[in-house]
Chain A
Amino acid sequence: MGDPIIQVEGLYKSYGAVEALRGVSFTVEQGEVFGLLGPNGAGKTTTVEILEGMRTPDRGVARVGGLDPEKSGSAFKEKIGAVLQSTSLPDKLRVKEAIDLFANFYRHRANTDDLLRRFQLEEKRNAFYSQLSGGQKQRLALAMALVNDPQVVFLDEPTAGLDPQVRREIYIIIEELKRDKKTVLLTTHYIEEAERLCDRVAIVDYGRVIAIGTPRELKHSSMGTTRIEVRLAKPVMDGALARLEGVADCREFDGTYVLHSARPPQTIVALVKQLESENNELQSLEMFSPSLEDVFIELTGRRLRD
């Protein structure tokens, strides 16, 4: 393996009294799809925007393709493409004009018609930006991120706020980038997205990387337990469920009890017995294989979307 294409070492950034980054470090290899997974406000966007050259870190090192994003100017910008989390285009700009306009700024340009075809925007080529749906705007943003055929693509919450159908379309596009051996840095708070798309994931919380590895490695580190989520008619006494057979961990989130069990069948039998003895009732029960959400809960005591 060669030198990493993205290097981040001890990145700090504050906005007034708010510490957005508190020593973020990671590396990304060439051709890798790397995910930054974490809740809103964890520091994902700040990290990505420092790597895009749009923010200045207070401390630490950020390099993309060996270049300092802040100081390398056009040479750096020619190498990267990005979908920003909060951005827009003029309402009266047509789809094809937008792609042509941005392509004109680069030395190396992708073919506009190919991009329109690839991102299913051919029928909308003459539509104004204001006439596009949320999904079409996001597809256009992705097309524009690739107008210069970049080495590294930054995707900041590319599917946030989109419906599941559109989200799946975006997943297919990112999988194509992966096949094309593009290096992709993706931020998300969707577990499914990180598990499906990323070769490696860094879990970020309160401005720190708290775990890093492949989705499989991270899930294996999660005590190898099954997650059981139950809702009950009446609340139970503190700690009663944590003492059930096989339960390694039990926490309550908004009336839902989340149990992690190494032996699910025994835990469920013990749970039913416990509820009978307390004259309580089971309202719902769901079981999940270990996921990155479990890893996050284990590490932080919170759910990703809390």
Chain B
Amino acid sequence: MPANAFTNTWTLTKVRMRLAMRNRTFLFFSLIMPLSFLFFFSLVFGKGQSGWIAYILGAVLTMTVMGSFWGLSVQLVMFREQGILRRFRLAPIGAGPMLASSILSNYLMVIPTVAIEILVCRWAFHLEFWGNLWAILLLITIGSAAFSSFGLIVASVTNTMQETQVINQLIWTAFLFLSGTTVPLAIFPGWIQRVALFMPATYLATGLEAAATNLAGAAEILTDVVALAIGILVAFEISRQLFRWEPEARVPGRAKLWVLVAMIPFRSFVIYENIAGTRLLRIHLQYQMLRNREMPEQTHQDR
């Protein structure tokens, strides 16, 4: 990316953050709603135990990060439908800075929410340890970029706001209920668990839950990070290729096919996880430890 592309990305990032902060709907969905979930789950299911509170924190962090894809896809389609993107098209900027600024601004706005959620758990719900903060930061960073990229893909392959909302609803429901974010994956039948491995949300959820509960070792986090990083690269390139400035421009049928082809690297990783990976085993172990109240003591570094 040439130097002025970085400058343009940063210029757009600042403006998009400013616009988001002036949008009450954005503030509700990105701050109020995740915090409401955190309070609800912690009060109802937390049982006053640090292990469960940390597990719930991991799930709420996942929801906070996953929300990126919904907001970004809706915003981009709205910009296209209202003819806002075509005004930008006249200026010497390309699709890359436009898309990269979506991801960056979203990430910079997710970080304060994540910090508030962790602090609420520590101080309001008496969570006794910080979890693996570096692993959390790494997963939040990679996860935010990955789910923003998925949002950009949704915006690229849908032609109208109605289409976008329908697809978002379907994806959001699957992410929420089949990834271990709201319902622990370990209690599902085996075949659903295998299906769940095909969803990037599962890697984020299991990674963040493990990091928050202090169960994550470097190796475990690494595979989650790799899975999500592949997702980012593939999704960003697809959305850049399919990016449309004009409201009347329609995505060609073959472009949608190309999306499937471009997903091959991620699918290969998932197939490996299904055949030879140990993720499901770890998910079961983690859940079992929580049930048996065998959460590990906080590590020396966390003190």
- Name A's B-contacting residues (CB within 8 A): 52, 54, 73-74, 77-78, 80, 82, 84, 86-90, 92-93, 97, 101-102, 104-106, 144
Contact = CB atoms under 8 A, between A and B. Distances in A.
Contacts of A54: 86, 89-90, 245-246
A94 B115 CA distance: 30
Contacts of A80: 90
B13 to A, nearest CB: 11
A105 B93 contact: yes
Contacts of A105: 8, 11, 91-93
Nearest to B84: A88
Interface of A is mostly: loop
B127 to A, nearest CB: 36
A110 B200 CA distance: 46
Given A105-B91, A105-B92, A86 B19 contact: no
Contacts of B83: 84, 86-88
Given A84-B86, A106-B91, 7 more contacts: A54-B86, A54-B89, A54-B245, A74-B4, A87-B87, A92-B23, A105-B11
A87 B18 CA distance: 21
Contacts of B79: 90
Contacts of A102: 91
A268 B121 CA distance: 92
B84 A73 contact: no
A39 B7 CA distance: 42
Interface in B181-204: none
10 contacts: A54-B245, A73-B92, A77-B92, A87-B83, A88-B82, A92-B19, A101-B15, A105-B91, A105-B92, A106-B91
Nearest to A101: B15
The 5 closest A-B pairs by CB, nearest first: A74-B92, A77-B92, A92-B22, A105-B91, A87-B83
Contacts of B12: 101
Contacts of B11: 101, 104-105
A137 B93 CA distance: 23
A135 to B, nearest CB: 18
Contact of B19 (A73, A82, A87, A90): A90
A192 B303 CA distance: 79
A55 to B, nearest CB: 9
Contact of A87 (B8, B15, B84): B84
A53 to B, nearest CB: 8
A97 B8 contact: no
Interface residues of B, number: 23
Contacts of A104: 7-8, 11
Nearest to A55: B246
A143 to B, nearest CB: 13
Nearest to B2: A74
Contacts of B84: 87-90
A14 B285 CA distance: 63
For B15, B82, B87, B93, which residue has the most chain A Cβ atoms within 10 angstroms? B87
Interface string B1-42: 000100110011001001100110000000000000000000
A20 to B, nearest CB: 13
Interface string B72-109: 00000001001110110111110000000000000000
A89 B245 CA distance: 14
Contacts of B86: 54, 84, 86-87
Contacts of A87: 83-84, 86-87
A74 B18 CA distance: 27
A92 B12 CA distance: 14
B100 to A, nearest CB: 15
Contacts of A82: 90
For B8, B82, B91, which residue has the most chain A Cβ atoms within 10 angstroms? B91
Nearest to B93: A105
A287 to B, nearest CB: 43
Contacts of B92: 73-74, 77-78, 105-106
A52 B88 CA distance: 12
A84 B15 CA distance: 22
Nearest to B20: A92
A97 B7 CA distance: 16
A88 B84 CA distance: 5
A93 B22 CA distance: 9
A205 to B, nearest CB: 23
A87 B11 CA distance: 21
For B7, B8, B82, B90, which residue has the most chain A Cβ atoms within 10 angstroms? B90
A16 to B, nearest CB: 12
B182 to A, nearest CB: 32
A77 B4 CA distance: 14
A78 B92 CA distance: 7
Contacts of B15: 93, 97, 101
A52 B90 contact: yes
